[in-house]
Structures are given as structure tokens and as C-alpha cells.
């Protein structure tokens, strides 16, 4: 049986959770940016009408 090895476990979880968090934040920020510009577009359109 392999004893110890906790630092490998901790590293794997840190990389996974960190990687997923970075992905989630990037996706969310990008989506927020485009949603903001789409709202500005809608506001401009309703102002023009």
C-alpha cells in the first residue's frame, strides 16, 4: 500500500478547483460584458423610437 502522498492529492484538488474557478470566472466575465453591450444596444434602440 502506498502511504502518504497527501501532497499529490492536495495538488490535484488545487489544480482542479483552481482551473475550474478560472474557467468559470472567465466565462462569467465575458458573458457579463456582452450582456452589458446588448442592453446598451436595446436602450439606444428604444431611445431612437
Partner 1 sequence: MLSVFANPARFMQLSGWAAPLFAVLALVLFAVGVPWALIYSPADYQQGETVRIMYVHVPAAWWSLAIYGFMGVASFVGVVWRHALADVAARAAAPIGATFAGLCLITGSLWGAPTWGTWWEWDGRLTSMLVLFIIYLGYIALWNAVEDEEKAARLAAILCLVGLINLPIVHFSVVWWSTLHQPASVFRPGGSAIDPAMMGPLFAMAFAYMALFGALLLTNMRAAINRRRVEAARMRGANAA
Query: Would you tell me which residues interact with partner 1 (CB under 8 A)?
Result: 1-6, 8-9, 11-13, 15-17, 19-20, 23-24, 27-28, 30-31, 33-35, 37-38, 41
CB of 46 to partner 1, least distance (A): 13
Q: Name the E strands within the chain.
A: none
Angle value at C-alpha 21, between 17 and 26, nearest 5 degrees: 155
Amino acid at each position: 500500500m502506498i502511504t502518504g502522498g497527501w501532497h499529490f492529492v492536495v495538488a490535484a484538488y488545487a489544480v482542479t478547483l483552481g482551473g475550474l474557478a478560472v474557467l468559470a470566472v472567465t466565462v462569467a466575465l465575458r458573458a457579463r460584458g456582452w450582456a452589458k453591450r446588448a442592453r446598451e444596444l436595446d436602450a439606444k434602440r428604444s431611445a431612437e423610437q
